[in-house]
Amino acid sequence: MNWTLALPEIILSLSSLGIISYGAVQKRENPFFICSTFSIAALIAVSFLIMTGSNGLGFNNLFISDEFSRFMKLLILVAALLTIILSLDFNIKASSNSFEFTALLLFSTTGAMIMVSSNNLMTLYLGLELSSLPLYILCAFDRDNVFSSEAGIKYFILGSVASTIILYGLSLIYGFSGGLGYEHVHLAFASPNPIPPGLSFGLIFILVGLCFKISAAPFHMWTPDVYQGAPTSVSMYLSTVPKFAAFALFMRLIMGPFGNISFQWQLLIEIIAILSIIVGSVGAIVQTNIKRMMAYSSISHMGYTLVGLAAATTEGVLGSLIYLTVYLFMNIGTFAVIAAMTRKGLIVENVKDLSGLGKTNPGIAAAMAIFMFSMAGAPPLAGFFGKFMVFWAAISAHLYILTIIGILASAISAYIYLRIIKIMYFNTLIQPLDPQPLSLSLITFSMGTVTIIFLLFMSPIVHISKIAAQSLF
C-alpha cells in the first residue's frame, strides 16, 4: 500500500488532533502561543520529509507523490508557516487567539496537500472538503465582528455551491468513464470514439468549481467580502494555500486525464483568464479598503497564472509555477504590512490610513513600496519575471490576443499599486502606525529581500519548477 508516501499528511493530521486534545485538557487560560509553536515545528518537520521524499503511488493508486506534488506542497507549507508566524501577534490584538485556530489551519493545510497528491476523483473530493470546511470556520473566527460572521456565512454558502458543482462534475466523469482513477478518465478521453457529451459537461463543471476556489472571474463574487471580513491572517491564508491547491488540481487534471482534449478546455481557460485580469484590475481601482483591493488584486493575479495554463504546454505550466512562487512572496509580504496597520491598538484597513507612511514609518513604507512595484511587474523585481514567464509561454503557444490583453491590463493595474506608493509618500501626514511586532517585521523583511534579489536565485527555481512541470507530462 506504501502508506509512507502520505506520512507528511498523517503527521499534520495527528498534530491537529494533538492540539485539540491539549487545548481541551490544559489548565492554562489560553495556550495559543504553545499551540502555534508546536504547529510551526510540525510544518518545518513535514517540509523536511517532503524535500527528502520519494516518488511513487500509494493506497492502491489513490495517492501520488512526484516532483510536481512536492513542489506545490512546499509552497503550501511555506504559506501556512508564515500565516501562523503572522498570527502570533495579530490574532492576540484581534482577540482571535484561541488554540483552535492553529488546529483548523493544520487541518486545512492537510486537505490542500491531499488535493495536490490526488490520483483519484474520490481523493480529489476528500482533500477539497478537508481543506474547505476549516476555512468556513476560520473566516468567521472573529465572533465579535459582524463582518467576520458575514464572511464566514457567505464563504460557506458559496463554497458549498462550488463543491456541489465539482461533485456533480465528478459524478458525470465517473458515470461515463467507468472508473474513479485518473487513468480511467484518461482512457475515456483518449478513446478514438466520439467523446460523450456527459464527459464534456463533467469537465466543464469541474473547471467551473475550481475557478471558484481560485476566485477567478466570473466566479469571484465571494472574494472581496470574505477578504475584508475575515481576520487578516486568515485572508492571507485564503489568498495562498487554497489557491495553490486548486491550481495544482487544475494542472494535474488538464495536463493528465484531460490532456488529450485541450481543444475543449483551452478556449474556456483563455476567456476566464481574460475576465479575471480585467475584472481584478478595474475592480481594484475604486476600492477604499486595502483588503478589498488585495482581493481584486488576487483575482487579476490568478488570471495571469491561468495565462500559463491556457498555453497547454510544459512552458506554460513552468510559467504558472514560477508565477505562483513569486505571488507567494509579494502577497504574503503585503498582508504582513496590512497586519501591521494599527493605531493605538486599533486595526485600521482603509487605503487612506497609509497617508504619510513614508515619513512616519519609513521601514513599513519601503517594504510596501517594494511589494507594490513587484505586483505591478516592474523590473528587476520578482513580479516582472513571473509575468514574463507566463506571457512568453502564451506567445510560444500563439495566444497573441490573450498576451496583448494581459499586457494592457498590466498597465491598468499599475495605477492601483502606484497609487498606494503615492499615498504613502506624497499625501498629507497623519498619525503614525504603532510599532511593528517582531514577527511581522521578520516576514516583511524576508519577503521584501526575496522580492528584490529574486533574480539571483531564479536559475535554480526555474530548474526545479521545470522538473516539476515535466513530471505532469
**397-436 tens-digit pLDDT:** 888 999 999 889 888 888 889 999 998 888 877 777 777 7
* pLDDT, averaged across the chain: 87
**9-29 tens-digit pLDDT:** 999 999 999 988 888 887 666
Helix axes 438-452, 382-396, angle to 10 degrees: 50
Higher pLDDT, 257 or 47: 47
Query: Rounded to whole angstroms, how far apart are CA atoms 445 and 229?
Result: 26
Higher pLDDT, 26 or 355: 355
Q: Which pTM was predicted?
A: 0.93
- Residue 1 is predicted with a pLDDT of 58
Q: Which three cell numbers stand for residue 184?
A: 480511467
φ, ψ of residue 220 in degrees (nearest 5) = -105, 5
Peptide bond into 380 cis (omega under 30): yes
Q: Which three cell numbers stand for residue 47?
A: 517540509
Give the pLDDT mean for 83-100: 75
- Residue 22 is predicted with a pLDDT of 86
φ, ψ of residue 269 in degrees (nearest 5) = -70, -35
CB neighbours (10 Å) of residue 440?
A: 23
